Homo-oligomer: A and B are copies of this chain.
């Protein structure tokens, strides 16, 4: 199950160091995607990862290798050569995990990453045509070796998931939560929505911020994220840049839904001025 922030053990700063927590400027109970949903969305956006296997040549050592992967439902699949170290490892010991990390600038430890733990086994030939279709669609270059005799499909049946969304946002969850979590429907359109809002709708964001959060005199709003449940801004305050999250009235499944939801939020905001 998802850990609450309060359950997370605390770091141990040196004595005398400042540990002041800043007050949150928005409703802490604002609708937000679950950690399982965030992890599932991250996985959908990223197609490369580190496969961790048990080495066949270095006894008892875990072995990390670079892989491309696609998703068969909630389970990652791999098209890997019998000649490769990870394949030799898996054919001898199927215990494995997959680390998928978000790319990006800034402090790398602030970015999201997910570890999927489970059993990774070769998939039967019956399933090969279906998996080939999924895999080649995700990684078009793989069509050049998808029919090579030494390339095999493996699937990692996910048993447990570790998600770290950045500093202090982390959970373990199990196969049931993982199977139920759907990737955010806006994952492929979010970047475009964010760019459009930052280019053309700073006034609307500021109005929403001033009337629906505690940052009543914030300036310079920058949208930093959007998902089916709402959106996030970074705004300038007397204490420097601070995050604000605002929920949509209804869940949004596509950019048109977001447009309507934003119009609706602005209407509500105007009524509060």
Contact = CB atoms under 8 A, between A and B. Distances in A.
Interface in A40-59: 47-48, 50-55, 58
A219 interface: no
Contacts of A159: 58
A96 interface: yes
B141 A83 contact: no
Oligomer: number of copies:
2
A39 interface: no
A187 interface: no
Nearest to A60: B95
Interface stretch (A27-35, A126-134, A146-154): A146-154
A12 interface: yes
Given A17-B147, A64-B99, 15 more contacts: A12-B148, A14-B149, A47-B108, A50-B101, A51-B64, A52-B62, A55-B97, A61-B96, A62-B97, A64-B97, A64-B98, A64-B115, A65-B115, A66-B111, A68-B109
Query: Which 4 A-B pairs give the minimum distances between C-beta atoms?
Result: A64-B99, A62-B62, A12-B149, A50-B50
